[in-house]
Structure 1
Amino acid sequence: MTPLDRLRALCLALPEVTEKVSHGEPTWFVRRSFVTYADHHHDARLAFWCAAPPGVQEELVAADPERFFRPPYVGTRGWVGVRLDVEVDWDEIAELVTDAYRAVAPKRLITLLDSTG
């Protein structure tokens, strides 16, 4: 599977997620966006941008700037950019996607997520 296929599968496995194109890229929503694919969107990186809890962006970028970055537009809101054109740990990506979902999903859906494992 391509990185887009894998990312799509992770996002769509979460409760009530929809996908549509936003700003020319596949984007996943749970009432509002939580993950955007970034296929060389304004730079040379293949990546995705995702919502993150407060402080996580700074922590990840400081720990591994080769894999994580502050994305344009949404970086000021704490979102994190995650490169997909380097070696990828898909278990870690799954955690980041789930954390992004939790950052924007209504409490009812987070409860549903927790109850389904």
Structure 2
Amino acid sequence: MTPSFDGQEMLDHVRRACAGLPEAEESVDGFGHTVMKVRGKTFIMMNPNEETPGLSIKSDKEQQYLLLQQGGYVRTPYIGQHGWVSLDRAAEPDWDEVAGLIRTAYLLAAPKRLAKAVLGSLVN
């Protein structure tokens, strides 16, 4: 199945945001979702092949609360109790903000050594 135009656009944005993240890998999980992982831990889940593509991002509960209050995000079904958020499919995404959330999601999932390397590169 080929991703829709919107799904391909979403994939392109996510791939660009993950390009500089050490050991970030893209794969397809058992449910057919395109996922981004670091050392086996998922930090992004996407379904680019739906008519309206979906993007879910790992976060903590505090950040989830703030994003839900802000709008443009919804609690991810089934895993939202762990802090995950999804883009509200009815809203136009702010891709710069999403790129920042992707970096934060990576930091939550990455081993400390990799997270320190990314944080160090942001400071320098």
> What are structure 1's unaligned runs of at least 5 residues?
none
Query: Does the alignment pair 1:72 with 2:77?
Result: yes
Equivalences, count: 113
Using structure 1 for the length normalisation, give the TM-score. Answer: 0.83
Written as runs of structure 1 = structure 2, the 5 A alignment for 1:1-117 is: 2-22=9-29, 23-31=31-39, 32-39=41-48, 45-64=52-71, 67-83=72-88, 86-117=91-122
Secondary structure, counterpart of 2:91 in structure 1: coil
The offset of 1:45, in angstroms, is 4.5
Could you tell me the percent identity over the aligned residues? 32
Summarize deviations over 1:55-98 as a string: whole Å, max 9, x none.
1112211221xx10011121111111124663222210111001
Structure 1: distance between partners of 2:89 and 2:26: 19
- Deviation by residue 1:24-62 (Cα, 9 ceiling, x = unmatched): 011000120000113476xx7423111112311122112
Q: For the Cα contact (< 8 Å) 1:25–1:37, is it kept in 2?
A: yes
Larger Rg: 2
CA RMSD of aligned residues (A): 2.1
Q: How far apart, in 2, do the equivalents of 1:2 and 1:105 lie? A: 25
Aligned 8 A contact 2:44 2:105 in 1? yes
2:61 aligns to what SS in structure 1?
coil
